[in-house]
Structure formats: structure tokens, C-alpha cells
Amino acid sequence: MPPVPISPVKVGHIDDVQELRKTKPRTIPQRFVRDMTERPTLSTTPLPPSNTHMPVIDFSKFTNGNKEEVLSEIFNLATACEEWGFFQVINHEIDLNLVERIENLSREFFMLPLEEKQKYPMAPGTVQGYGQAFVFSEDQKLDWCNMFALGLEPEYVRNPNLWPKRPERF
């Protein structure tokens, strides 16, 4: 049985970002507008890392490297997380055709009509299903995005009711 919130969470109305975008609104709904204190400014924006190349992590060093290579790549990973917040993974041995098929199916899912996507709703306070994640109150500012997430591992987090029937190959 997948985890559920311990107590009911009241999140209020949440607009679907894709649907909002289609209407070409003149203003952004206040729920998506950050307070001035939450917005970055030039004085508070951290300087970019001194190295201007995106960090690259070679996964094969974790699986096939000697102790020194493993430790070096762990250091590179930690540095990438601390200084950049993201990185590119190479030599992961995941079939690129599989990655492309997953991307295409995901795109197909997001292009479905809203009514179809809403058959797999993200329950308030959870992160699985279609909708907005990490919403815990009616007053909370929302990210300008829709997401669809499925838990796979460990097995107890899986929720087969959230697995979409469309696209068929999903």
C-alpha cells in the first residue's frame, strides 16, 4: 500500500499550468507569483562556479573503476551537487533507445486532454500522480509546472491505480 498523508491537507484550488497557458492569460494567477522576498536579486544570486563547464559524472568509474577512481568520482559528484545543483551522467549503460521511448511516452501523456490526465490525481501531501507536488496549504505559492510521478522502488510505494491506461504503451 503506497504511503498517504497522516492528516487531511487543504490545498485549495490548483490551476493546471498547461491549461492556463493555452488561455494566454494577461496576468499570472497570484498563487504562482512569488513574494518579493522570495525572488532572487543580483545581490543574493550566488556567483556561477568558476568552472563554466557543466559537471559530467562518469558512472562507469563507480562500477568498473579502481578505488582511486571511485573516490575521485565521488568527490566530483559532491562538488557538482554543492556548486551546480545538477550534472550530466555519462557511461550509465542505459540503452538510449529506452530513454528516447520513455521521453516520447511522457510527452504523449502530457499532450492528452486534461480530463484524461486528471484520472491519475496527485493526492495533497503526496508526490505520486498528476498535478502539483509538495503542496501543503492553501496559501502556499506554487511552481509553474505540472508533473506526473510514479513510485517504483521500494515496491510498497507503488500505486497501480496511478498507472495510466493512455498512451497504451505507457
Q: What is the pLDDT along the chain (170 residues), one digit of tens a residue?
A: 555 555 567 777 788 888 888 888 888 888 888 888 888 777 655 666 556 789 999 999 999 999 999 999 999 999 999 999 899 999 999 999 999 999 999 999 999 999 999 999 987 777 899 988 888 888 888 888 889 999 999 999 999 999 999 999 88
Q: Model-level pTM?
A: 0.70
Cell of 96: 538510449
In a domain, 8, yes or no: no
For residues 120 and 74, membership in a common domain is answered with: no
Number of structural domains (the chain) is 2
Domain region containing 66: 56-90
